[in-house]
Amino acid sequence: MLHRKIDMIITKSIARFSRNTVDCLQHTRLLKDLGVDVFFEEQGIHSIQPGAEFYITIYGSVAQSESENISANVRWGKAQSAKEGRVAFHYETFLGYRKGADGGPEIVPEEAETVRLIYSRFLAGDSYTVIARMLESNGILSPGGKSKWSETTIRSILSNERYKGDAIINKTYMPRFFLPDISAPFLTLTGEAAAHAKVLRLRLGEEVTVCDGRGMECFCAVTDLAPDRVSLVVRARSASEAEAKVRAAVYMAYPKADKLEHVIQKATELGAAEIVAFPTSRCVSRPDGKGLEKKRERWQKIAASAAEQSGRGVIPEIVTLSSYADALTRAAQADKAILFYENERARTLRAALEGSWRTVSLLTGPEGGLTEAEVVQAREAGLEICTLGRRILRCETAPLCALSAVMFAAGEF
């Protein structure tokens, strides 16, 4: 496509063109095949000249070494700053603060009100999307001075520990990836996993964890880096220690908007084994056909991302059912099958969880709740009817509240 449109690319030096020898050779070869010459001014080399690759390799290796030395110096400097307790603030995007006269952070009263509003709405149960739309409708500008707010910005503000007076610096983190088969002694990351590895800027020898999504994981080291793949060698294998001792399934009637996405993400982090979505008579949202399949694929990706972020070894399965009756039949197969109903007053979750059990199903309704007939139907199917307290919980709060209580009762925390 570039052939005969570009004759030559002029760059100051090999270091400016690429700081990785393999990448440099790969791209100059690709351009050469397209008939495009790359001229490196500082070295006086034309890539199409005979023997140019030899010199590109030598100079490229020098450039790569210099880049690695600079990177090492930067890391050392940041480590020293961490030891001395010096914290860097990016005030241009740090909503609520500005640089004070003493060089430290100073509160901006107007922006601080926006931060408090975001936190209060989140604690009230609003999703990232709802909070973003609310801020836009009130004419409040984002940290970057834009009228449009993104979910990523809201999430970043809510997860920034600096807003409670802490600063976590010099963080350590072992990247986690999922592959369907991890039985071989050598593994390769491709596609989205390779792209994620590139974003993380993995280096040769760096350690990563690779899971099969079914409870087994490998501790690996990076042996080779390429633009489209990352090669790993397996050093050890073990069963994942992050999985709960009990198998908890969350059954949630289809809610409106993106509430199910929120529940999937948080339920995965809390240790749910599967999340099941189904329709009831009061459901406003009733996805079906191709639309439902596309949503299920998206929901499964959200679960995989949450499992990766939370250090899990199992990716919860996202199941969609066509009827409420199917959900009751499936949920009743657990040792403890519980439906939560706001009009139940006597039976508590604590009482329902007495005795021994290894599997549990937790079923909640949509925004409008379940009808009395549906509750009777659940009781006849073998489910226990329980209360989650004297307060009315939102449809996205109830399943997470119940799941947290189950994990606590199981001794998970």
Residue 146: which domain range?
Answer: 91-164
Q: Are 356 and 212 contained in the same domain?
A: no
Q: Are 111 and 180 contained in the same domain?
A: no
Structure tokens at 296: 């299920």
Give the C-alpha separation, 179 to 193, whole Å: 9
Which domain CATH number covers 381?
A: 3.40.1280.10
Q: Are 257 and 383 contained in the same domain?
A: yes
Structure tokens at 187: 């593994």
Specify the pLDDT at position 248: 97
pLDDT tier at 173, thresholds 50, 70, 90:
low
CB 149 within 8 Å of CB 127: no
Specify the pLDDT at position 271: 94
pLDDT tier at 171, thresholds 50, 70, 90:
low
Does residue 101 lie in a domain region? yes
Does residue 76 lie in a domain region? no
Q: Are 292 and 345 contained in the same domain?
A: yes
Q: Are 267 and 345 contained in the same domain?
A: yes
Does residue 80 lie in a domain region? no
Q: Are 395 and 328 contained in the same domain?
A: yes
User: What is the reported pTM?
Assistant: 0.58
CB 313 within 8 Å of CB 243: yes
CB 387 within 8 Å of CB 347: yes
CA-nearest of 190, 182, 193, 195 to 235 is 182
Does residue 78 lie in a domain region? no
pLDDT over 60 (residue 408):
yes
- Type of residue at 205: G
Q: Are 145 and 95 contained in the same domain?
A: yes
Does residue 2 lie in a domain region? no
User: How high is the mean pLDDT of the chain?
Assistant: 88
Does residue 169 lie in a domain region? no
pLDDT over 90 (residue 67):
no
Instruction: Please give the residue that has the higher pLDDT: either 290 or 149.
Output: 149
Does residue 360 lie in a domain region? yes
- Strand partners of residue 230: 189, 225
CB 197 within 8 Å of CB 226: no
Q: Are 252 and 384 contained in the same domain?
A: yes
Number of H helices, E strands in the chain: 13, 16
pLDDT in tens, 319-347: 999 999 999 999 999 999 999 999 998 99
Instruction: Say how many domains are in the chain.
Output: 4
CA-nearest of 331, 252, 276, 267 to 303 is 267
Q: Which helix (H) or strand (E) holds 302?
A: helix 289-309
Q: Are 29 and 124 contained in the same domain?
A: no
